[in-house]
Structure 1
Amino acid sequence: MPSHIVELKQPSVTDPSPRQGELPFTLQDLKAAIPAYCFVPSVWKSLFYFFLDVSIIAGLYALAYFLDSWWFFPVFWLMQGTMFWALFVVGHDCGHGSFSQQKWLNNLIGHLSHIPILVPYHGWRISHRTHHANTGNIDTDESWYPVTQSKYEEMHWSEKLIRFNLLLIAYPIYLFKRSPGKKGSHFLPSSPLFRPSEKWDVLTSTFLWTLMMGFLGFLTYQFGFLFLVKFYLAPYIVFVIWLDLVTYLHHTDPDIPWYRGDDWYFLKGALSTIDHDYGLINPIHHNIGTHVAHHIFLNMPHYHLITATEAIKPILGDYYRKSDRTIWQSFWRSYFSCFFVPDTGAKVYYQSPEK
C-alpha cells in the first residue's frame, strides 16, 4: 500500500487516544447519544429513495419530450440537474456502505446511480474514502483542501482561474486531474489514488463510464447535438454546479480551522466542516446539508443524519457549526475570502490576498 494513501476506517469508539483530550468529548460520547437504529441501513428504505429519484428523472424526461418547448427547457434543466445531484447522493451512500450491508448491492446501485451522470463510481468512491479519512488535514485531504500562500503565489493564472473563478464547473476536470498539487486520474488504476488490489474495481467503472460516453455519442449521431444539449448536457451542467457548490460550502469557510501534523486527528478533522440549510432542496438532495454528523459517522444512512445531528448537538456545543446565512450569502462570503492558508502553523484559517 503506497505510503501516501490513508486507509479509511471509522475509528473505534473504545480505543483510547491521548490526543482526544484536546476535545471535551470523545467519539464514544457522541455515538452513545445517538439512537442505535441510526447506524443500521434499511435496504428497502434505501431502495425507495433510489427508485423515487429514478422515477422523477424518468417523469421529467417524458414531460420534456412531450412538451418539447423552449419555454419549458430552462425549468427542465434546473429540475433535472437537481435530480441528477439527488441521484449522486444515493450513489454517495453506496460508496460509504451506508446504502445497505451488502457490498454487491452497494456496488450495483452505486454504478446505476453514478454512471448515467458520468461519475466513475469506484474511482470516485476510493478518492472520497481518502477525503473522509483526512478531512481538515492540509497535507493529506483529497478535495476542497486549501493551498498554502506560497503555492497560491506560484500557481499559473489558468490554474487560479479554474480553482478560484470557475470552481462551480471544476468537477469534471478534478476527475481527470485531481486537485492542485496532486497527481493522478480517477479513471486509471495506475493513479496514486489506488492500491494494486483495486485495479479491477477502477477498470470496471472506467469501462462502464466509457460505454455511457459511447451511448451519448450514439444519441448525438442519431438525433443531433442540439438534442444532446436539451436533454442531457444542460442538466448535467446543473448537476455539476450543485455538486461543486455543496462540497465547496461544506469545506470552505473562513471560520473553519485546518490542521497540520500532530495537531490533526480524525474527530477534530471531522468537525472542520459546516452544516447548511438548503430550504426546499433539503429533502430533494437527501439532507446532505447535515454534513457534520456525516463526517463523524460516515457509514450512517442519509435518512438518519438529522436525528443524529440533533442528538449530538448538545454534546458538541460550540464545536458544532451551522451557517445562519443563505446558501448564496455563504458562497459569496467564502468566494471572496477563502484563497489560501499560511505556510506555517498547526491550526490555520483561510485568508485572502488583500490581508
Structure 2
Amino acid sequence: MCIRLIPTNMVRYASFLNDVENMKVSDSPAFKASRQYTKATYFKALFHFGHTIGLFFVTIGLMFATLQVHYGLTLLLAVIAATAYLRLFMIGHDCGHGSYLPQKWQNERLGELIGVLTGTPFKYWARQHAKHHSTTGNLDKRGEGDVTTKTVEEFNESGRFAQICYRFYRNPWFMLLVSAPVHFVLLQRLPLGDQMKTREGWISVMGTNFGIFCYYGSLIAIFGLVPFLMVYIPVVMLSSAAAVWLFYVQHQFEDAYWNRKETWTYE
C-alpha cells in the first residue's frame, strides 16, 4: 500500500528558499541561465509537434496492421503509441500555459486539436490546471487537479472505513490502472466542479466530446469496433497511467511544500 500523510508542521521543502525569499525572479541565477528558453519559436514548436503526431499516427496505423499478424506485436507498438500520446498531452499542457506557440490563439487552436486526440477538453482543463498552480501546497484549497491527500490528523480522525478507502485510493496499482483511465475516459466527459456552472466549461467539454465522437467513429467505421478497442485500450491505459504518475511524483514526495492558508505562499 502507498499512503501519503502530510505532517502538519511541514516547513519549506528546502532551506535555501529562505535565502532567496526576497530575491527578484529576474535576479536569480536559474532565471538568467534559462532566459534563452523563455520565448516560443514556430520552428521548434512545429518540429516537435510534427514528429510527435507523425509518430503517433504511424504507430497507430501499424498497430491496426499487426492485428492480422500477432497481438503481442500490437501491444509492443502500443508502448510507442502511448509515449507519443503522452507527449501530445504534454504539448497540450504547454499550450494551456500559453507558452508553446507565440500567439494565444495559436496555443488555443493547437490545444483544442490535441485535446480531441488525447480526450482532454482544452479550455476546461487549462482553467482547472491554472487554478491548481495557484493553490498547490495550500492545505485549505486542496482538490484542484491534485491527488487527494490527507494530513496525519485528518487520517487519524477519519473512521475505519474512510481510512481503508483512502489506502485503497492511493494504492499505486489502483491509482494507475483504474483511477487514471477513469479520469481521462469518463470524468473529463463532463465539466465537473465550478465549471459545471460556466458556459465556457460546457462548450469546451462538449465540443471535445463531439470531436472525439467523430475521430473515434471514423476509426470504428474503417477498422471495426473490436479492432479499434484492441488498439486504443492499451494505448489509453498506458498513457493515462504515465500521465498520472508524472503528476503524482511532481507533488507527492517527502519534502513537498504544504501549509495552511495563513502561512502559505505562492513563491
TM range (shorter): 0.7 to 0.9
Matched, 1:168 2:176: yes
Task: Report what 1:93 is aligned to.
Answer: 94
The 3-state SS of whatever aligns with 1:71 is: helix
Matched, 1:107 2:108: yes
State the AA in 1 paired with 2:126. R
Q: Aligned residues, how many?
A: 240
Task: Report what 1:352 is aligned to.
Answer: none
Asked whether the 8 Å contact 2:139–2:258 carries over to 1, the reply is yes
Q: What RMSD, in angstroms, separates the aligned Cα atoms of the two structures?
A: 3.1
Q: How does 1:46-61 map to 2 (within 5 A)?
A: 46-61=45-60
The 3-state SS of whatever aligns with 1:72 is: helix
Once the two structures are TM-superposed, the CA of residue 124 in structure 1 deviates from its matched residue by 1.0
Deviation readout 1:36-66 (Å, 9 max, x if unpaired): 3322111221111111101111221232233
TM-score (norm 2): 0.76
Task: Report what 2:190 is aligned to.
Answer: 187
Decide whether aligned partners of structure 1 residues 238 and 225 sit closer, same or farther in structure 2, where only a CA change above 3 A counts: same
Among 144, 147, 158, which residue is 2:147 paired with? 144
Q: How does 1:1-355 map to 2 (within 5 A)?
A: 23=21, 25-30=23-28, 32-68=31-67, 69-141=70-142, 142=144, 143-144=146-147, 146-149=149-152, 151-152=154-155, 153-154=158-159, 155=162, 157-158=164-165, 160-165=167-172, 166-169=174-177, 170-174=179-183, 187-188=190-191, 191-193=193-195, 196=198, 199-200=199-200, 202-213=202-213, 215-216=215-216, 219-220=219-220, 223-267=223-267
Q: Distance in 2 between matches of 1:114 and 1:66?
A: 26
Decide whether aligned partners of structure 1 residues 41 and 194 sit closer, same or farther in structure 2, where only a CA change above 3 A counts: farther
State the AA in 2 paired with 1:164. N
State the AA in 1 paired with 2:175. L
Q: Distance in 2 between matches of 1:113 and 1:235?
A: 15
State the AA in 2 paired with 1:108. R
Task: Report what 2:8 is aligned to.
Answer: none
Q: Distance in 2 between matches of 1:226 and 1:159?
A: 35
Q: Distance in 2 between matches of 1:177 and 1:49?
A: 29
Unaligned runs of 5+ in 1: 1-18, 179-184, 268-355
Q: Distance in 1 between matches of 2:195 and 2:186?
A: 11
Q: Distance in 1 between matches of 2:48 and 2:238?
A: 21
Task: Report what 1:286 is aligned to.
Answer: none
Deviation readout 1:47-88 (Å, 9 max, x if unpaired): 111111011112212322333322311211111111100110
Asked whether the 8 Å contact 1:124–1:186 carries over to 2, the reply is no
Q: Distance in 2 between matches of 1:79 and 1:20?
A: 43
Asked whether the 8 Å contact 1:136–1:145 carries over to 2, the reply is no
Q: Distance in 2 between matches of 1:250 and 1:256?
A: 9
Q: Distance in 1 between matches of 2:50 and 2:248?
A: 28
Task: Report what 1:306 is aligned to.
Answer: none
How many percent identity over aligned positions?
20
State the AA in 2 paired with 1:161. F
The 3-state SS of whatever aligns with 1:136 is: coil
Once the two structures are TM-superposed, the CA of residue 239 in structure 1 deviates from its matched residue by 0.6
State the AA in 1 paired with 2:117. P
State the AA in 1 paired with 2:226. L
Decide whether aligned partners of structure 1 residues 28 and 264 sit closer, same or farther in structure 2, where only a CA change above 3 A counts: farther
Deviation readout 1:250-273 (Å, 9 max, x if unpaired): 111123231112321111xxxxxx
Q: Distance in 1 between matches of 2:137 and 2:229?
A: 38
Structure showing the higher helix proportion among its residues: 2
